[in-house]
């Protein structure tokens, strides 16, 4: 099924062959509730519990494509959710660090990523995504899958010079914009709006870190 999904995404404008290859490798049905598995490859968001969703396949592929991964990058993902995006990143990059604020979602993602798929280059943490993962910084790429109200300053600090961050920004769901942030070698930031999107809001709190 995933190979057919990759073909559909190619027809929709996803051009990076490595991203399409990753989509074809990862069985998306593993990341959705069992009762939704017949719809796993539908191009729309699906609920995964706790008020969260798995992004539609096109958006997951589009965001991954904008990171420009070549294979050796250290990537920080904010919002593990189902784990599907982390799986795509894991087969395209060197190391993935993924932070999720909901412990139950992180545990479920771990069962698939570390158990079913045996992706040894993924590390998971339960924590406040706005804080990033400072002890492992800097990161070559950062991908954010929940929308903060503004560009998260701590994540910008953790982005390596020469790196990229893809992040949806907006206080209201109806007015969010996906932004590409590129950090120059001197630390200067270039920010570009690339697509209107709808993501769940980024939530903060004080969960147990692990």
Question: How many whole angstroms separate alpha carbon 32 and alpha carbon 3?
Answer: 18
Q: Quick check: 87 and 31 in contact, CB under 8 A?
A: yes
Q: Is residue 55 annotated as a catalytic residue, yes or no?
A: yes
Among 55, 82, 98, 106, the one annotated catalytic: 55
Long-range Cβ contacts of 103-106 (<8 Å, 24+ apart): 103/207, 103/208, 104/49, 104/50, 105/48, 105/49, 105/50, 105/52, 105/80, 105/81, 106/80
Question: How many whole angstroms separate alpha carbon 144 and alpha carbon 66?
Answer: 12
Catalytically active residues, by annotation: 55
């Amino acid at each position: 099924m995933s190979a057919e999904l990759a073909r559909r995404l190619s027809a929709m404008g996803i051009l990076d062959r490595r991203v399409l290859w990753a989509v074809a490798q990862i069985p998306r049905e593993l990341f959705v509730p069992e009762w939704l598995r017949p719809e796993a490859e539908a191009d729309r968001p699906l609920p995964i519990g706790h008020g969260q969703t798995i992004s539609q396949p096109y958006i997951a592929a589009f965001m991954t494509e904008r990171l420009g991964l070549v294979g050796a990058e250290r990537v920080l993902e904010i919002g593990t959710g189902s784990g599907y995006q982390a799986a795509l990143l894991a087969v395209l990059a060197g190391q993935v660090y993924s932070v999720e604020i909901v412990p139950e979602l992180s545990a479920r993602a771990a069962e698939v990523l570390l158990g079913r798929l045996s992706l040894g280059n993924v590390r998971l943490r339960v924590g406040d995504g706005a804080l990033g993962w400072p002890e492992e910084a800097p990161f070559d790429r950062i991908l954010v899958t929940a929308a903060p109200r503004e560009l998260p300053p701590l994540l910008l600090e953790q982005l390596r010079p020469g790196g990229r961050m893809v992040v949806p920004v907006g206080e209201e769901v109806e007015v969010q914009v996906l932004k590409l942030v590129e950090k120059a070698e001197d630390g200067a930031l270039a920010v570009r709006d690339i697509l209107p999107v709808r993501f769940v809001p980024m939530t903060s709190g004080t969960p147990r870190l692990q």
